[in-house]
Amino acid sequence: MHRTRNALIAGASGLVGGHCLQLLLNSERYSQVISIGRRDLPVIHPKLDQRVIDFDNMERYATELAADDVYCCLGTTIKKAGSKDAFYKVDHTYVTKLAEITLQKQASQFLVVSAMGADAGSMIFYNQVKGKMEEHVMELGFETVHIFRPSLLLGEREEHRAGEEFAAKIMKPLQGLMVGPLRKYKPVQAETVAKAMLYAASLNQTGNHIHPSDEIQKMGRKL
C-alpha cells in the first residue's frame, strides 16, 4: 500500500482551484491538504488545514509550506489586477516564489495552471508572462512539473468576467466543429482541468510535462 501524501494548494478560491480543492479533500492519495490564501474559505473538512498568508512576503511562511505535491491555481486578469505590473506579480512572481519555497521544503511535484498560447517570446503580454513563468518553474529542478494550458475556461465564477462570458456564449455552438487540429481550442470545464491535475499527479512521472487543452480534456475523463 502506498503511503498517503500531503498536498498544498494555492488559489483555491478561484474557478479551477475550487474544484481542485474538493478533489484533493476527497482523494485517498492525500492525508492532509494545506490551502493557502489571503482569507479563509467557507470549507470545513478533517483533512483541510487553511493558512492565511501574505503573498508579498511568502518567505515568512516557508515553514508552513511543506508538502509532497503542490497545486498552483493562482491567476488573475490585467483588468482585475488593475495594471500589467500587478498582473505580473500574481501570475509570475507569486507562482515562481511558491515554486522556489516549496522545492526548498522538499516538494517533489509542482502542478500549475497556465494558459493556451503561453510563450516567453510572445508579443502578447499575457502570453509572455505565462511563458516566462513556465520556463522559470521548469528550470528549478523539481522531480516532476506538470503545466496545464487550458483554452477558454467554463464554469461558475464568483466574480463577473464579461469578456469570458461573452466568449463562452460565442464558442458554445461552435464546439461540434472543433475537431482535429482545432480540438485544442475547444472550451474546457474548470472541473475537467482540476481532474486532469489530480490524474497527472497520480501518474508518478518525472521530468517536465506540458499539457495542451485537448490533452487536458482526455486526462480529465480518466479520473
Which residues are catalytically annotated? 126, 130
pLDDT confidence of residue 167? 43
Averaged pLDDT for residues 198-213? 97
In contact, 67 and 47? CB cutoff 8 Å: no
Spell out the residues 6+ positions from residue 52 whose beta carbon is closer than 8 angstroms to its own. Answer: 36, 37, 38, 39, 40
pLDDT confidence of residue 173? 55
Spell out the residues 6+ positions from residue 19 whose beta carbon is closer than 8 angstroms to its own. Answer: 155, 190, 191, 193, 194, 195
Q: What is the pLDDT of residues 28-62, one digit of tens each?
A: 999 999 999 999 999 999 999 999 999 999 999 99
Give the 3-state secondary structure of residue 32: strand
What's the order of all strands across the beta sheet hosting 69-72?
48-52, 30-37, 5-10, 69-72, 109-113, 144-149, 207-212
Kindly list the structural domains of the chain, giving each domain's residue range(s) and its CATH number in brackets, ordered by start.
5-217 (3.40.50.720)
Residue with the three cell numbers 460565442: 170
Q: What is the pLDDT of residues 135-182, one digit of tens each?
A: 999 999 999 999 999 999 997 755 544 444 444 444 455 445 445 565
Largest CA distance in the chain: 50
* Element holding 165 (H helix, E strand): helix 162-171
Select the more confidently predicted residue: 223 or 211: 211
pLDDT of 24 over the 80 cut: yes
Cα distance between residue 49 and residue 21, in whole Å? 11
In contact, 118 and 130? CB cutoff 8 Å: yes
DSSP per residue, 90-123: IIIIIHHHHHHHHHHTT--EEEEE--TT--TT-S
Cα distance between residue 46 and residue 160, in whole Å? 32
Q: What are phi and psi of 153, to 5 degrees?
A: -85, 135
The distance from CA 86 to its chain's CA centroid, rounded to whole angstroms, is 18
pLDDT confidence of residue 170? 44
The candidate with the shortest Cα–Cα distance to 197, out of 146, 153, 143, 125, is 146
Confidence tier at 105 by pLDDT (50, 70, 90): very high
Question: Which amino acid belongs to residue 87?
Answer: F
pLDDT confidence of residue 42? 95
| Cβ count near 222 (within 10 Å) | 11
